[in-house]
Chains A and B, each alone.
Chain A
Amino acid sequence: MTPALLGREPVVITVGAEPLGEALDAQAVPRVPVAWRPPMAGTAAALDTVLADPRRERANALAVDRMTSARPQLVGVRPAREVLGLTPGAFLHAGPPITWERASGPMRGALVGAMLLEGLARDPQDAERRLAAGEASLEPCHHHRTVGPMAGVVSPSMWMFEVRDAEHGGVAYCSLNEGLGKVLRYGAYGPEVLERLRWMGAVLGPVLAAALARSGPVDLRALTSQALQMGDELHNRNRAATSLLVREIAPAVVEASPEHAAEVLRFINGNDHFFLNPGMAACKVSADAARGVPGSSMVVAMARNGTDFGIQVSGLGDRWFTGPAGVPDGLYLGAYGPDDANPDIGDSTITETAGLGGFAMAAAPAIVRFVGGDVSDATAATRSMYEITLAEHPAYQIPGLGFRGTPVGIDVALVARTGLLPVVNTGIAGRVAGTGQVGAGLVSPPASAFTEALAALADAVDRGSQDR
């Protein structure tokens, strides 16, 4: 123990009154000054309670260990009606729960498109009327071990990536990526959108399923770590990961379906974001492994429905803590501008939840201008996330930071203490239903989601101590 204290030359971490630090400087004692500031307004009491909870340290260590030790493998591609038990008229969507009344443009557009795809409406007007009348049931993807990018609408006939955690045995799903431009996930529902979705259900899904049956599981943990070292951050850049996935499965695609192999491979190659979806399912299955640890203040989901930004915390079950979704700050396609942007939307923040995306920005110098800045901004973004996370990922490493593991396991207590909010990379959806993608950039989650989760953790501690 304290021989370490008394036997060594002191190196002192100083936090607080600067003159006490200066007194050490005057003695030429090496020190590490902390740039401390008061916690977020109104959080001091809850922080005190949560930090004093004797379960917290071990609970967080367990939660983050489960998240980072998960071994996600892509094991199959199957229809949603089969794997999720979705019945006609039931739809999943991104983010925390939402009603049609409160849904934003792109969310409504995607639901309209899904109604048309499933043959539940004659035309868009009919679909809107039926949705407004409550004919469809809406539930978050997250409630069904599923994630969806942008609007994240999943309907029974869509095919899903199935990702299994070989370490803990969990399973998670994500839809197949449609590509960029006018696509359902951005709220577009024109004929070309529906036609593509039908082809994905009829050809892409079954061919991928057959190919994976031949190739066997694809190790997404290994693939993700390689992609990070090839310049992806796995949210806004998936080019390397997509290429690696194609390399893994192409022979099996050819063998499984010689007649469709060319069009399937051409479709995947034409979409640098094809890997986003299996990558999200990999993050989801990893985060789910960390759910339900009593006393843990670690975030296990961040998700947006285009209206609200919500988080879930390991020690707080399935409760959502929400705040208004912000409008991303970024670059716009063509003549689009901030006025055309919808508030933040999609489950793709599961990547940041699992230590990728904005948290791994330093790995992706190629896209730093896309998300506003230069390489030093990207490095600073990743470095700042170490302040609010519990661990460094043992497998997901950043070459530019000396192969340091990515910051992983957001702690709501550290968010409140530092005032630093998670850095989120995101695409920007058009505000008007059917527009599609208008840009990409960075977005800040609402602080209230984190402070309310912290307050709930404190309440749980107080209730627990009354029970004892």
Chain B
Amino acid sequence: MNGDNGDGELVLVRAGVYHDSVSLMRVSRTLSAMPGVDIAIVAMATELNLGLAAELGFAVPPAEPADLLVAIRAADAAAASAAREELDRLLAALGRPASSGPGGAADPPRTVRAAARGHDATLALVSVPGEHAFAEALDAVEAGLSVMVFSDNVPVEREIALKERAAERGVLVMGPDCGTAVIGGVGLGFANVLRPGPVGVVAASGTGAQQVTCLLDEAGAGVSHVLGVGGRDLSAEVGGRSTLRALAALDEDPATELIVLISKPPAPEVAGKVRAAAERLATPVVTALLDPSGDDLTAAAEKALRALGASVPSWPAYPAPGDRPGAYPGGLYGLYSGGTLCTEARFLAGRGEFTDFGDDAYTRGRPHPMIDPALRLEALAAVPGGAVALLDVVLGHAADPDPAAALAPAVADAVARGTAVVVALIGTAGDPQGRDRQVAALTGAGASVFASNAEAARYAVSLLGPGEGQQTGGVR
């Protein structure tokens, strides 16, 4: 269907053409950046996306969620036609599989089931939209494979079903909503490049695990594996099924000498079970329970270092010379991409307005803020002068390849209007973004940068001045 009306507006529906939302988001961004293009929407024709296009004034033809929707508004017909050519080129590139795999010239498999049947895989990584994740993850479990479910919005009863079947098969389900894992040095999902070492991590929190392992890496302690279990695993309903299995797996792993368990406080009935299991293991276990009265992530890393007999360094910190402690009356604004980092900072600050842009409410139908910074940049631009903005920047595989490129100018703008910007930079020297380069760009723009989120939060509070107490909302 072609809705090119000749004056630079173009609406197309391509039936049965599917690409994932993140890939399409990149296409949209590339097209939007072309000269003369005002708006470019390239997305699956879900109700949400059709509504978005209609709100922007496009005449949207009927379409189904399995169809591809293209809506472009350009200054003139020439710009629209250039955008269309670029669109075809980008979509054709997406259509080519990145790797043909050991199957040779055969069409790529259409389900995890078929992929597992034709190949000698060890693990599946599932990141399809949440309502479809159960099917793909179940395929992996039924094929005897462990699976990492990156997808969120998976109903808890399906999580339980998945983990029950995994127990029958003796495999591990990481997730749902598992953002990070490292297995044998391979990073899955959002994963930092960590030096190999003796620490095995079991984490109910993705960014929590990233913070702890990055600090361990900074202190010279490496990790064997990081096994995510999903944020609900230690709830009463799920009963810690994956946590128990992950603990057992690390206990059997010869490379793991110390296990660190990172989690929010479990449901009471689960806590006992996990504690008993941990005590039975041959490998020592350091448990870090994140709550206001318990550990913060930095303390957890330090606890692990002490258990290893290693010394605790002072964590890298780069306070901005221009910051004036106690001189910011405008309040504290926490703009986070990592859920656990956000919660931790909010607890530690005890005040301010915190937003977790990685929350389901912000990721439905759009990429995670670690990939797409747009929403957070808008929010930063809205922080008033005289206030303190506290952000996390998470480096590693799959994250924004150069977060400072977009963030540093926004930081400079904020600093110029009298806002202090404090950044918790979660990353390692080995991360593909180049941690030191990111630090340099952000501090160069006037931000204060900390390796420890807890230190960043405490520093941000120290900047606040009289009057900030008037700010409401978001406090625990």
The answer to whether the Cβ of B145 comes within 8 Å of any Cβ in the partner chain is yes
Q: Evaluate contact between B124 and A44: CB separation under 8 angstroms.
A: no
From 1 to 50 in chain A, residues with beta carbon under 8 angstroms from any chain B beta carbon are 1-27, 29-41, 44, 47-48
Closest A residue, CB atoms, query B167: A1
Q: Evaluate contact between B125 and A15: CB separation under 8 angstroms.
A: yes
| Per-residue interface assignment for chain A, residues 406 to 420, with 1 indicating a CB less than 8 Å from any chain B CB and 0 otherwise | 000000001001111
Which residue of B125, B132, B367 has the most chain A CB atoms within 10 A of its CB atom? B125
The answer to whether the Cβ of B378 comes within 8 Å of any Cβ in the partner chain is no
From 372 to 405 in chain A, residues with beta carbon under 8 angstroms from any chain B beta carbon are 380, 383-384, 386-387
The answer to whether the Cβ of A447 comes within 8 Å of any Cβ in the partner chain is no
The answer to whether the Cβ of B371 comes within 8 Å of any Cβ in the partner chain is yes
Interface SS of B by simple majority: mixed
Bound complex: CA A35 to CA B20 (Å): 10
Query: How close is B106's CB to chain A, nearest CB, in angstroms?
Result: 6
Q: Evaluate contact between B249 and A52: CB separation under 8 angstroms.
A: no
Query: How close is B255's CB to chain A, nearest CB, in angstroms?
Result: 8
Closest A residue, CB atoms, query B158: A52
Bound complex: CA A386 to CA B108 (Å): 12
Q: List the A side residues contacting B126 at CB < 8 Å.
A: 15-16
Q: Evaluate contact between A13 and B112: CB separation under 8 angstroms.
A: yes
Cross-interface CB contact of B186 among A20, A27, A36, cutoff 8 Å: A27
Q: List the B side residues contacting A12 at CB < 8 Å.
A: 121-125, 186, 188
| Per-residue interface assignment for chain B, residues 263 to 294, with 1 indicating a CB less than 8 Å from any chain A CB and 0 otherwise | 00000000000000000000000000000000
Q: Evaluate contact between A38 and B172: CB separation under 8 angstroms.
A: no
Bound complex: CA A16 to CA B20 (Å): 6
| Per-residue interface assignment for chain A, residues 325 to 351, with 1 indicating a CB less than 8 Å from any chain B CB and 0 otherwise | 000000000000000000000000000
Query: How close is A415's CB to chain B, nearest CB, in angstroms?
Result: 11
Q: Evaluate contact between A44 and B121: CB separation under 8 angstroms.
A: no
Q: List the B side residues contacting A5 at CB < 8 Å.
A: 122-123, 146, 171-172, 183, 249
Q: Evaluate contact between A17 and B21: CB separation under 8 angstroms.
A: yes
Which residue of B109, B134, B183 has the most chain A CB atoms within 10 A of its CB atom? B109
Cross-interface CB contact of B110 among A1, A20, A36, A48, cutoff 8 Å: A36
The answer to whether the Cβ of A456 comes within 8 Å of any Cβ in the partner chain is no
The answer to whether the Cβ of A272 comes within 8 Å of any Cβ in the partner chain is no
The answer to whether the Cβ of A318 comes within 8 Å of any Cβ in the partner chain is no
Q: Evaluate contact between A15 and B124: CB separation under 8 angstroms.
A: yes
Q: List the B side residues contacting A29 at CB < 8 Å.
A: 186
Q: Evaluate contact between B98 and A36: CB separation under 8 angstroms.
A: no
The answer to whether the Cβ of A51 comes within 8 Å of any Cβ in the partner chain is yes
Which residue of A2, A4, A22 has the most chain B CB atoms within 10 A of its CB atom? A2
Given contacts A15-B126, A48-B158, contact A418 B184 (CB under 8 A): no
Cross-interface CB contact of B20 among A17, A25, A386, A419, cutoff 8 Å: A17
Closest A residue, CB atoms, query B136: A15
From 1 to 60 in chain B, residues with beta carbon under 8 angstroms from any chain A beta carbon are 16, 18-23, 44
Q: Evaluate contact between B119 and A32: CB separation under 8 angstroms.
A: yes
| Per-residue interface assignment for chain B, residues 84 to 120, with 1 indicating a CB less than 8 Å from any chain A CB and 0 otherwise | 0000000000100111011100111111111111111
Report the count of interface residues on A (CB-CB < 8 A).
57
The answer to whether the Cβ of A118 comes within 8 Å of any Cβ in the partner chain is no
Given contacts A32-B115, A414-B111, contact A23 B397 (CB under 8 A): yes
The answer to whether the Cβ of B201 comes within 8 Å of any Cβ in the partner chain is no
Query: How close is A285's CB to chain B, nearest CB, in angstroms?
Result: 27
Bound complex: CA A151 to CA B132 (Å): 41
Which residue of B21, B66, B158 has the most chain A CB atoms within 10 A of its CB atom? B66
The number of inter-chain residue pairs (CB within 8 angstroms) is: 221
Q: List the B side residues contacting A10 at CB < 8 Å.
A: 122-123, 183-184, 186
Q: Evaluate contact between A16 and B106: CB separation under 8 angstroms.
A: no
The answer to whether the Cβ of A57 comes within 8 Å of any Cβ in the partner chain is yes
Q: List the A side residues contacting B191 at CB < 8 Å.
A: 23
Closest A residue, CB atoms, query B22: A17
| Per-residue interface assignment for chain B, residues 143 to 180, with 1 indicating a CB less than 8 Å from any chain A CB and 0 otherwise | 00110001100000110010000000111100000000
Q: List the A side residues contacting B140 at CB < 8 Å.
A: 13
Bound complex: CA A54 to CA B138 (Å): 11
The answer to whether the Cβ of B237 comes within 8 Å of any Cβ in the partner chain is no
Bound complex: CA A420 to CA B111 (Å): 11
Q: Evaluate contact between B110 and A420: CB separation under 8 angstroms.
A: yes
Q: List the A side residues contacting B416 at CB < 8 Å.
A: none
The answer to whether the Cβ of B410 comes within 8 Å of any Cβ in the partner chain is no
Closest A residue, CB atoms, query B150: A20
Bound complex: CA A54 to CA B150 (Å): 24
Query: How close is B337's CB to chain A, nearest CB, in angstroms?
Result: 15
Query: How close is A95's CB to chain B, nearest CB, in angstroms?
Result: 29
Bound complex: CA A371 to CA B23 (Å): 37
The answer to whether the Cβ of B432 comes within 8 Å of any Cβ in the partner chain is yes
Q: Evaluate contact between B106 and A383: CB separation under 8 angstroms.
A: yes
Q: Evaluate contact between A6 and B225: CB separation under 8 angstroms.
A: yes
Closest A residue, CB atoms, query B106: A383
Query: How close is B247's CB to chain A, nearest CB, in angstroms?
Result: 11
Bound complex: CA A4 to CA B169 (Å): 12
Query: How close is B272's CB to chain A, nearest CB, in angstroms?
Result: 24
Bound complex: CA A445 to CA B159 (Å): 35
Q: Evaluate contact between B111 and A34: CB separation under 8 angstroms.
A: yes
| Per-residue interface assignment for chain B, residues 389 to 400, with 1 indicating a CB less than 8 Å from any chain A CB and 0 otherwise | 000000001100
Q: List the A side residues contacting B358 at CB < 8 Å.
A: none
Q: List the B side residues contacting A22 at CB < 8 Å.
A: 98, 398
The answer to whether the Cβ of B232 comes within 8 Å of any Cβ in the partner chain is no
Closest A residue, CB atoms, query B117: A386
Q: Evaluate contact between A19 and B371: CB separation under 8 angstroms.
A: yes
Q: List the A side residues contacting B142 at CB < 8 Å.
A: 57
The answer to whether the Cβ of B252 comes within 8 Å of any Cβ in the partner chain is yes
Q: Evaluate contact between B124 and A13: CB separation under 8 angstroms.
A: yes
Q: Evaluate contact between A38 and B107: CB separation under 8 angstroms.
A: no
Query: How close is B121's CB to chain A, nearest CB, in angstroms?
Result: 5
Q: Evaluate contact between B20 and A11: CB separation under 8 angstroms.
A: no
Given contacts A8-B122, A18-B20, contact A35 B97 (CB under 8 A): yes
From 193 to 222 in chain A, residues with beta carbon under 8 angstroms from any chain B beta carbon are none
* Chain A positions near chain B (C-beta within 8 angstroms): 1-27, 29-41, 44, 47-48, 51-52, 54, 57, 380, 383-384, 386-387, 414, 417-420
- Name 21 A/B residue pairs within 8 A (Cβ), A-sorted: A6-B183, A6-B255, A15-B111, A16-B20, A16-B150, A20-B127, A20-B188, A23-B189, A24-B125, A25-B98, A31-B101, A32-B102, A32-B103, A32-B109, A33-B99, A38-B44, A380-B107, A387-B111, A417-B111, A418-B110, A419-B66
Given A3-B252, A23-B189, A48-B134, 4 extra CB contacts under 8 A:
A16-B126, A18-B19, A32-B102, A54-B161
* Chain B positions near chain A (C-beta within 8 angstroms): 16, 18-23, 44, 64-66, 94, 97-99, 101-103, 106-129, 131-136, 138, 140, 142, 145-146, 150-151, 157-158, 161, 169-172, 183-184, 186-189, 191, 225, 245, 248-250, 252-253, 255, 367, 371, 397-398, 432
